[in-house]
């Protein structure tokens, strides 16, 4: 399987994993080890399920895992807030990478694509490697590319729902119309089979959090998603046979001892 390339940097894996809402930090550590992700995402606003910050122990764990960190701007609702959070994240984590989230609706957590474009342009001009969390809207994605983004992170469904792909047509069109842009499915997947599906369509990677962290066994689920992503990518590269409306025999008729004509 060929490596994932983002902003001229290569990664051996095509799964990105979030670090929020795991039952314990030990389960988080084991889940990351099982998934072997290309990057792990983390927010400066991250809190434990009890509502208390993990503090120094959490940051020590992130460093000990030795996996590239992708900070995010989760929870931001304005350009100014997102830009300020990104700058703080760059200082804390010493990385130019940022997953840009700018939410426009509290119920669906749908990205505000208008403010997203504005914030992306500011951050790219400031030297960030911006990965914007966006919808599957083709025109909005083109505007993000015009702003300087070199990879996009469209959702499959609203964050944390586990619904899988809601708008298959739009996602498949997006992949077809932006063939040279790295596209990472971010949010809404619930099952490894759904991850394999989007990878079979030609998507470049998958980012997960809730589907792993809130599952009954995060460690096993992390491994299952890792295998599914790899399997889907391999299937895409193997060029699947096109679907047909009529049956086509896989066994040749030449040389068969009996031939039954269809007289029905």
User: Catalytic amino acids?
Assistant: 99
**Closest C-alpha among 82, 99, 2, 81 to residue 42:** 99
Q: How far apart are CA 27 and CA 219, in angstroms?
A: 7
- Alpha-carbon distance of 211 to 217, in angstroms, equals 10
Cα angle 62, 207, 116 (rounded to 5 degrees) comes to 100
Q: What is the DSSP string of 65-116?
A: HT--EEEE-TT--SHHHHHHHHHHHHHHHT-SEEEE--BS-TTT--B-HHHH
How far, in Å, CA of 174 to CA of 179, rounded?
8
Report phi then psi at 162, rounded to 5: 70, 20
Does 160 carry a binding-site annotation? yes
The CA distances from residue 47 to 51, 54, 122, 176, in Å, are 6, 6, 28, 38
Cα within 13 Å of Cα(34), Cβ side? 19
CA distance linking residue 32 with residue 15, whole number of Å: 11
Whether residue 187 is annotated as binding a ligand: the answer is: yes
Q: What value does the CA radius of gyration of the chain take, rounded to a whole number of Å?
A: 21
Residue 209, annotated as binding a ligand: yes
Binding residues for 1-deoxy-D-xylulose 5-phosphate: 160, 187-188, 209-210
Binding residues: 160, 187-188, 209-210
């Amino acid at each position: 399987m060929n490596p994932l390339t983002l902003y001229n940097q290569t990664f051996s894996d095509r799964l990105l994993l979030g670090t929020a809402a795991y039952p314990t930090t030990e389960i988080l550590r084991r889940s990351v080890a099982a998934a072997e992700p290309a990057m792990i995402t983390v927010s400066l606003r991250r809190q434990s399920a009890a509502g208390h910050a993990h503090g120094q122990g959490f940051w020590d764990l992130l460093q000990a895992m030795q996996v590239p960190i992708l900070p995010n701007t989760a929870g931001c609702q304005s350009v100014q807030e997102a830009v300020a959070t990104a700058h703080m994240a760059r200082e804390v984590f010493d990385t130019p990478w940022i997953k840009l989230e700018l939410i426009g609706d509290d119920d669906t957590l749908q990205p505000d694509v208008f403010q997203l474009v504005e914030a992306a342009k500011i951050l790219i001009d400031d030297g960030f490697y911006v990965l914007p969390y966006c919808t599957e809207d083709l025109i909005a994605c083109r505007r993000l590319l015009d702003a300087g983004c070199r990879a996009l992170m469209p959702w499959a469904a609203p964050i944390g729902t586990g619904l899988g792909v809601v708008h298959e047509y739009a996602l498949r069109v997006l992949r077809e119309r932006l063939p040279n842009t790295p596209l990472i499915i971010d949010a809404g997947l619930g099952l490894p089979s759904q991850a394999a599906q989007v990878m079979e369509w030609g998507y470049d990677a998958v980012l997960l959090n809730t589907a792993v962290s809130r599952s009954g066994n995060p460690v096993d689920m992390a491994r299952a998603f890792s295998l599914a992503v790899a399997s889907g990518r391999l299937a895409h590269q193997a060029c699947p046979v096109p679907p047909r409306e009529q049956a086509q025999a896989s066994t040749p008729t030449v040389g068969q001892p009996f031939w039954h004509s269809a007289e029905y």
